[in-house]
Amino acid sequence: MGKINMDDDYIAKARHSMAHVLAKAVCQLFDDVKLAIGPPIENGFYYDFDLPHTIREEDFAAIEQRMTEIMNNNEDYTFRRLDNAEEILVGEPYKLELVKEIREAGEEVTAYDLGEGFFDLCAGPHVENTRELRNWGFKIASVAGAYWRGSSDNAMLQRVYVHAFPTRQELKKHLQFLEEAKKRDHRVLGPQLDLMFFDETAPGMPYWLPKGWKLYNTLMDFTRRVHEQRGYQEIAGPQLNHRTLWETSGHWEHYHDDMFTIDVGNEQYYALKPMNCPNAMIAFGRTNRSYRELPLRYMETSLLHRKEASGTLHGLLRVQTFRQDDAHTFITEEQIHNEINEILDLTNYLYGVFGLTVMAYLSTRPEEGYLGEIEQWNHAEEQLKRVLDDRFAGNYQINEGDGAFYGPKIDLKVKDVLNREWQLGTIQLDFQLAARFGLHYTDSDGKQKAPVVIHRALFGSLERFIGILIEHFAGKFPFWLSPVQIGVVPVHTDHEEYSHKVTQMLRDAGYRTNIDTSDGTMGNKIKSFRHEMMPYIIIIGEKEMEGGTISLRTRSGVQINEIPLHSFMEICKKMETEHLIELIEEI
From the candidates 16, 66, 126, 324, which is the catalytic residue? Answer: 324
From the candidates 126, 211, 251, 409, which is the catalytic residue? Answer: 409
Rounded-to-integer distance, Cα 486 and Cα 397, Å: 44
The question of whether 409 is a catalytic residue gets the answer: yes
End-to-end C-alpha distance for the chain, whole angstroms: 63
From the candidates 328, 436, 495, 553, which is the catalytic residue? Answer: 328
The question of whether 277 is a catalytic residue gets the answer: yes
Q: How far is CA 559 from CA 538, 552, 554, 586, in A?
A: 10, 6, 7, 10
Report phi then psi at 274, rounded to 5.
Answer: -90, -10
The question of whether 324 is a catalytic residue gets the answer: yes
Give the SS3 label for residue 262.
strand
Query: What amino acid is encoded at 313 in this protein?
Result: L
Contact by Cβ (8 Å): 417, 472: yes
Contact by Cβ (8 Å): 377, 400: no
Contact by Cβ (8 Å): 323, 301: yes
From the candidates 325, 326, 411, 430, which is the catalytic residue? Answer: 326
Nearest to 439 by CA among 257, 277, 198: 277
Nearest to 412 by CA among 465, 375, 479, 376: 465
Rounded-to-integer distance, Cα 167 and Cα 11, Å: 11
Q: What angle do CA 213, 216, 220 make, to 5 degrees?
A: 135
The question of whether 273 is a catalytic residue gets the answer: no
Give the SS3 label for residue 28.
helix
Report phi then psi at 67, rounded to 5.
Answer: -60, -45
From the candidates 211, 455, 464, 553, which is the catalytic residue? Answer: 455
Rounded-to-integer distance, Cα 1 and Cα 8, Å: 19
The question of whether 306 is a catalytic residue gets the answer: yes
Exposed (0-12), middle (13-18) or buried (19+): which is 157, by Cβ within 10 Å? buried
Rounded-to-integer distance, Cα 29 and Cα 64, Å: 11
Q: Please report the sign of the dihedral spanned by the C-alpha atoms of residue 200, residue 276, residue 426, residue 210.
A: negative
Name the H helices within 365-482.
Answer: 374-392, 433-436, 462-472
Name the H helices within 230-301.
Answer: 243-249, 251-254, 277-284
Residues in the chain, how many?
A: 587
Query: How many other β-carbons are positioned within 10 Å of the β-carbon of residue 67?
Result: 23
From the candidates 126, 306, 525, 553, which is the catalytic residue? Answer: 306
Question: Known catalytic residues?
Answer: 277, 306, 324, 326, 328, 409, 455
